[in-house]
Structure 1
Amino acid sequence: MRARAYKGLLAAVTAASTAALASATPAGAVAVPDPKAFSQTINAPTVKRHLERFQAIADANGGTRASGTPGYDASVAYVANRLRRAGYRVTLQEFEFPFFREITKTTMSRVAPEPKTYTRMTDFRIMTYSGSGTVTAPVQAVDVTIPPSETPNSSSSGCEASDFAGFTPGNIALMQRGTCNFQVKAENAQAAGAKGVIIFNEGQPGEGANDRRVLLNGNLNAPTTNIPVVGTTYAVGAELAAAGTTVTLSAQTEGDPQRKTHNVLAESRRGDADKVVMLGAHLDSVTEGPGINDNGSGSAGVLETAIRLGHLPSKNKLRFAFWGAEELGLLGSEHYVANLSAEEKAKIKLYLNFDMIGSPNYTFGIYDGDDSDGVGSPAGPAGSDKIEKTFEKYFQLVRQPYTGADFTGRSDYGPFIEAGIPAGGLFTGAEGIKTEAEAAKFGGEAGVAYDKCYHQACDTIANINDKALAVNSGAIAFAALTYAYSPALPGGGTPGTNTPGTGGGGLGHGHDHDHTGALS
């Protein structure tokens, strides 16, 4: 949109919103734009212009926008430029991170008792920070539970060095998800002489993202192992646990312990600096693809909202963040929060996170700030319940169904929750399987992943559901404008006093968007 046309539209929206509230505004008070009217000015075509740009950037840079690659650097430049043009103070926050990529596609096949080739990204996938190597060896199960316990996260397979008593050096260690993180399991296996590691999902059935039978997507946190490490479905793991199984596992990966990347931070020039309203989305993709839904969609929705708000005289300070290296373990947001002083944390009254808002087989998920569903992780810090209600109000106004999404700590709200900052946001689903009840409520196809192209090369502009993108982008705008002018913000207390498990939404063991996989 040309600058003159944009300014005209913005003026019209502001005038209409102000007129709508004129009768309710006391004489001499500042008229507040109407959040619903503002949200309706944002539609799928305007947001998709940013997605088209992200796609073009990926196409010009080897099909990826992963942190540490030229594609990510070009994405940073695009977002920063648009934010500067919208009037924000923009900062590129540099940090170092351990880079990882798969050089060639990992392969896994069973040699005995009967030959079988397993399908990458369906039956198994490489774990982030896996080492390289090719090995053909017997599979040796390490304290696995088949069939699984009825209680999720109860398996301690491979969590203790003593689990490997009697392990035969040179074998491939087969372990089960649960209790400790994947890095601990892999390091214990390597120390016991394993030449390869297979970790399979724990096996408990569940709805959507809580199903622990699906393909395991894991992260070893750091390049501390030099042997191949893969994750599999429960079914594949149970099959490989059979006596007499021999497997060939081959991986070629690259790791760089000190590569540089950036967060993009933009702050409004107006508003109370002691009352910061913060919105964020991760800008990076995985190395396997362009990441247009994950998470070009969230980035584009936040960016378009920021552009539309750029020239409005907000009461509170607005801060927008586009995180780097999220796909490798929330590294950008963790770096940002870790480097805030106590005083700076106290000024951030809430954080809103948007990670995958256009999934093709979507649900409209709102992060469960009050743990009203009583499932999974506990409630977020005090005030998170109010954020959830704000998003619920929007979906009620636009007459769209919605559901709760559990706080698991596995997207960029995690570091803010751990710091005691109220959080909320939206999520349309990743590799979890849509249930019959969800299909009846939201449409789409039951028994199919919310996003069949999750973390794959097919996560392109064609992988976006326009309705989900439009509705959720409107929700971002609604919440942003609501909190930009609100005299009472959710974070009235002092951040930094949160205790996970007691209303803090501590790091969970499920997955909403299982990038890190660091916890079992």
Structure 2
Amino acid sequence: MRVRAYKGLLAAVTAASALVLPVISATPAAADPDPRALSKSVTGLGVKRHLVKFQQIADANGGTRASGTAGYDASVAYVADKLRRAGYKVTLQEFEFPFFREITKSSLERVAPSAKTYVRNTDFRTMTYSGSGNVTAAVQAVDVMIPPSPTPNTSTSGCEASDFAGFTPGNIALMQRGTCGFQVKAENAQAAGAKGVIIFNEGQPGEGAADRRTLLLGTLGAPTVNIPVVGTTYAVGEELAAAGTTVTLVTDTESDLNRKTHNVLAESRWGDPDKVVMAGSHLDSVVEGPGINDNGSGSAGVLETALKAGLFPTKNKLRFAFWGAEELGLLGSEHYVANLSAEEKAKIKLYLNFDMIASPNYTFGIYDGDDSDGVGAPAGPAGSDQIEKLFESYFKAIGEPYTGTDFTGRSDYGPFIEVGIPAGGLFTGAEGIKTAEEAAKFGGEAGVAYDKCYHLECDTIDNINDKALRVNTGAIATATFVYAYSSQLPGGGAPGANQPGTGGGGHDDHDHDGVEM
């Protein structure tokens, strides 16, 4: 990271802090520190040092920091030690989760009518919680729609046991993404005698994550089947649906229903305990790689902000969270929220989420708290719009473009908005494809994924965009300190005042939490 460039940004952040304060009427009292102080103290070099450490941890532990592995445990120890030294009250919240990993790399080869080898992580990918097997068998399509319906989320392929009437036991079931969960499809196929499952994307064109022709990444949600299950692109599925197709499908996996892991929770020793300001990120990577952008970037930005915020006595209570097992379905944040009492939930006035803030082909995405774009997921709980406006003011002040990104439910804000806690945050893009319009607005390359190394072993320290990291780190620091001293919080009012919201309902078909469609 270029120090000179970052020093220039700090000056811009100072101006941004002054400009965003009127947006939420959060001007601190005369005796309180100016929120600009935090922005000045949180440096890009400090954030980058944490990313280097995460990379070193992964290198020393088989290339991964996934929950349930030694790499994650070492990440927890590093973060917790830093926070304790900064004066926080640190809690390691233990919970059990269903662990999954591939022991050896999967393979998919067409044997007939002609030989063809498909490329792992390009043409196909093992679904989380797939069983193991080495199967050569005929492919039998199950109620697929080729060509696809023009309307997404229409196919019912494999959703009912009756779809398998006439299915030949011993064959490999070919199904299509659609209206029911991947787990339902796989369980129905296994019950019908299938020796393997291939689920291909539904086939509708679109932009970014809405394109249902790309590689299908998904999870079964739990280890309930013992046969191989993979996801593919629409093109591969269409090809395999041809009559007379035989393939060899190989997966070698490990699942553990009751593996233990931890959330790291750090609470400031100052501030009103009835007015809690939370910021969080998931600390775990996928098993396949070190997860330096996903989500070392968000974790490092939140950690460095927390370390500097610990120097100041704040008006409101600060609580920082580093979630475990997010990559297996938001399990850490769901466990945390599910175990809060009604009174404790009411004390949390907002939650800020930072998941992937330095994608190499980035956009500056702000969670669309008010559904101002009128598409996709609805607005978040009341107060989420205020958080969105604060971040918008920051980007306007430093002269950087921004765009809205929906509350799709695919990151750790999901459990919070489901119980009515206002939420917001930043996101620079994952496996979706950058559009020409976005490339003109943000730079980068159209027609290429925001993060080509998403969920892959190449998500290393070299996968970080330094500009995106430093700009978003400034936004994290600004928002955290503004809310730390604000007397008017988005979830303001007496305990019990927060009402359930409607934003972000449902999970997405993505490795983080794609247990449904």
TM-score by length of 2: 0.93
Deviations 1:488-509 (A, max 9, x none): 111136477526xxx3221154
SS at match of 1:327: helix
Q: Which residue of 2 aligns with 1:519?
A: 516
CA deviation after TM superposition for structure 1 residue 150, in Å: 1.9
Q: Which residue of 2 aligns with 1:401?
A: 401
Unpaired segments ≥5 residues, structure 2: 1-12
Deviations 1:224-249 (A, max 9, x none): 00000001111111111111111110
Q: How does 1:354-373 map to 2 (within 5 A)?
A: 354-373=354-373
Unpaired segments ≥5 residues, structure 1: 1-12
Q: How many residues align?
A: 497
d(CA) in 2 for partners of 1:74, 1:495: 39
Deviations 1:465-520 (A, max 9, x none): 00000001111111101111111111136477526xxx322115466xx4222121
d(CA) in 2 for partners of 1:174, 1:433: 26
One-letter code of the match for 1:410? R
One-letter code of the match for 1:519? E
d(CA) in 1 for partners of 2:308, 2:284: 23
Q: Which residue of 1 aligns with 2:51?
A: 51
Percent sequence identity over matched residues?
78
SS at match of 2:295: helix
Is the CA contact 1:25–1:31 (under 8 Å) kept in the aligned structure 2? Answer: no
TM-score by length of 1: 0.92
Q: Which residue of 2 aligns with 1:202?
A: 202
Deviations 1:411-439 (A, max 9, x none): 11111111111111111111111111111
Is the CA contact 2:197–2:229 (under 8 Å) kept in the aligned structure 1? Answer: yes
d(CA) in 1 for partners of 2:110, 2:498: 50
d(CA) in 2 for partners of 1:240, 1:322: 42
Q: Which residue of 2 aligns with 1:8?
A: none
Indicate how the Cα distance of structure 1 residues 328 and 25 shifts in structure 2: closer, same or farther if over 3 A, else same: closer
Is the CA contact 1:367–1:404 (under 8 Å) kept in the aligned structure 2? Answer: yes
d(CA) in 2 for partners of 1:57, 1:193: 43
Is the CA contact 1:204–1:213 (under 8 Å) kept in the aligned structure 2? Answer: yes
Is the CA contact 2:32–2:485 (under 8 Å) kept in the aligned structure 1? Answer: no
CA deviation after TM superposition for structure 1 residue 357, in Å: 0.5
Deviations 1:90-123 (A, max 9, x none): 0000011111100000000111111110000000
d(CA) in 2 for partners of 1:194, 1:497: 46
CA deviation after TM superposition for structure 1 residue 250, in Å: 0.3
Whether 1:505 and 2:507 are equivalent positions in the alignment is: no
SS at match of 1:135: strand
SS at match of 2:209: coil
d(CA) in 2 for partners of 1:99, 1:443: 38
Is the CA contact 1:217–1:515 (under 8 Å) kept in the aligned structure 2? Answer: no
d(CA) in 2 for partners of 1:142, 1:30: 69
Is the CA contact 1:315–1:485 (under 8 Å) kept in the aligned structure 2? Answer: yes
One-letter code of the match for 2:505? G
Point out the more displaced range, 40-49 or 404-413: 40-49
Indicate how the Cα distance of structure 1 residues 27 and 380 shifts in structure 2: closer, same or farther if over 3 A, else same: closer
CA deviation after TM superposition for structure 1 residue 364, in Å: 0.6
CA deviation after TM superposition for structure 1 residue 156, in Å: 1.5
Q: How does 1:37-436 map to 2 (within 5 A)?
A: 38-436=38-436
Is the CA contact 1:134–1:248 (under 8 Å) kept in the aligned structure 2? Answer: yes
Deviations 1:64-85 (A, max 9, x none): 1111111111100000011111
SS at match of 2:396: helix
Is the CA contact 2:125–2:230 (under 8 Å) kept in the aligned structure 1? Answer: yes
Indicate how the Cα distance of structure 1 residues 428 and 271 shifts in structure 2: closer, same or farther if over 3 A, else same: same
Q: Which residue of 1 aligns with 2:489?
A: 489
d(CA) in 2 for partners of 1:132, 1:370: 44
Point out the more displaced range, 44-53 or 123-132: 44-53
Is the CA contact 1:361–1:451 (under 8 Å) kept in the aligned structure 2? Answer: yes
Is the CA contact 2:131–2:226 (under 8 Å) kept in the aligned structure 1? Answer: yes
SS at match of 1:209: helix
Superposed CA RMSD: 2.1
Indicate how the Cα distance of structure 1 residues 315 and 496 shifts in structure 2: closer, same or farther if over 3 A, else same: closer
Indicate how the Cα distance of structure 1 residues 119 and 28 shifts in structure 2: closer, same or farther if over 3 A, else same: closer
d(CA) in 1 for partners of 2:67, 2:508: 25
SS at match of 2:210: coil
Deviations 1:154-191 (A, max 9, x none): 22111111111111111111111111111111111111
CA deviation after TM superposition for structure 1 residue 286, in Å: 0.8
CA deviation after TM superposition for structure 1 residue 45, in Å: 2.0
Indicate how the Cα distance of structure 1 residues 436 and 27 shifts in structure 2: closer, same or farther if over 3 A, else same: closer
d(CA) in 1 for partners of 2:413, 2:477: 18
CA deviation after TM superposition for structure 1 residue 355, in Å: 0.5
Q: Which residue of 2 aligns with 1:30?
A: 31
Q: Which residue of 2 aligns with 1:10?
A: none
d(CA) in 1 for partners of 2:331, 2:28: 48
d(CA) in 1 for partners of 2:441, 2:392: 16
SS at match of 2:45: helix
Deviations 1:428-452 (A, max 9, x none): 1111111111111110111111111
